[in-house]
Amino acid sequence: MNPEQPDRHDQRKALYRAAKDVTYVLKLRPGLKALLDVLIDHIPNGAPRPVSPAAMQRLADKLGCEDRAIRYRIARLVRLGLVTNRCLANGRRHVQRARTGTIVHVAGIDLSPLLDTAWDWADRAADKKDAYARRARLRFQISEKRGALVRAFRGEEMPADLEALWSGLPRDIAKLGLAALEVLVDKVDRLISVTLADQKSFAGQPEECDRAYITDQGQSESCNPAMPAGKRAQEKPPRQTPRCGLEHVSLRQAVMAAPDDWRIEMERHGRSSWHILAGIAYQRARALGVSPSAWALAQNAVGTNGAAIIVMMADAKSHARGGPVRSVGGWVRRMAERAEKGTATLHRALFGLLHEEAVPC
């Protein structure tokens, strides 16, 4: 028993779904699908039947083509049994209404055949999608089994009977149908079970030529407790970042020593942190003339927080603020080089800013 037909309010939605299913099943060209959508759009509300009275010129303007192309597409849809041409004798289309405004007759392209078979097209589309998925799975299985056969006889000559069976298998399986793929899977399975039952590669056993791969590992103290103590003592400890007195500097002291515009910008973030201070220093470094190499040198010498303090102090001591530093970039590079050697006393310079005293580094 067929399902009930959708009411008039759901006709347009059902027609859109049917047009999509028909396009997928029959592989309609985009022009035919676009014409179906435009015809559905122009079905008047309240029409007794799903008839589209859209004029030929309006359809041509909507689709951006000539009238003869529209006529050809409509004839194609009629031959496919999707629509019926119910235009007047002279090809005119119109909508006739009663005095109450109710539509009593519509002349145009009737989409009732498409609506009547909407459920059938939906079933056919679902079956086609399912068949496509099954074909994809079968193609994958065949490719995997073929690869196993090739790997099993790699470096060996294939027997004559197996070579004959192998040559009889189709090479291009992309265009094979579902039934042909199922037959091909059975053939490949029988081929594997008959000729390769005793192959170790299919039994999951390693071949005799397979050997464990062992990497060369150097001796370490944990793995070799017998290592001489003198040799362990000769190993260099990891390089530590010079502190240069920055371990005595707190975040509060760094913020208090910063220029006023630095503190105002930090207040915009709502809180103070080393991360925010480093971000401000990195943004202002280029404007102050600090090259990326100088910033990288300072960051490598005393870390990101230390580099931020160096840039901040260079800005505070700059000639533009009435200080003695004429080249901020050069001062940052010089302090970074001294910090890398461990001869800088950056905390004294910062405390000098706090007490408004010019203490040399």
pLDDT tens readout for residues 26-65: 999 999 999 999 999 989 888 888 999 988 888 889 889 8
- Rounded to whole angstroms, how far apart are CA atoms 361 and 353? 12
Specify the pLDDT at position 185.
82
User: Which string of b and e fits 226-265 if b means at least 16 CB within 10 Å?
Assistant: eeeeeeeeeeeeeeeebbbbbeebeeebbbebbbeebeeb
Specify the pLDDT at position 159.
66
Specify the pLDDT at position 16.
92
The answer to whether the CB of 10 falls within 8 A of the CB of 61 is no
Give the tens place of pLDDT for each residue, 304-317. 888 888 888 888 88
Please say whether the dihedral angle defined by the alpha carbons of residues 265, 267, 270 and 271, taken in this order, is positive or negative.
positive
Specify the pLDDT at position 38.
92
For the record, the structure tokens of 262 come out as 């630095």
Model pTM? 0.47
Specify the pLDDT at position 327.
86
Specify the pLDDT at position 161.
67
Specify the pLDDT at position 73.
92
Single-letter code of the amino acid located at 279: G
Specify the pLDDT at position 156.
61
Specify the pLDDT at position 168.
74
Give pLDDT < 70 ranges for the chain: 1-9, 149-163, 194-243, 356-361
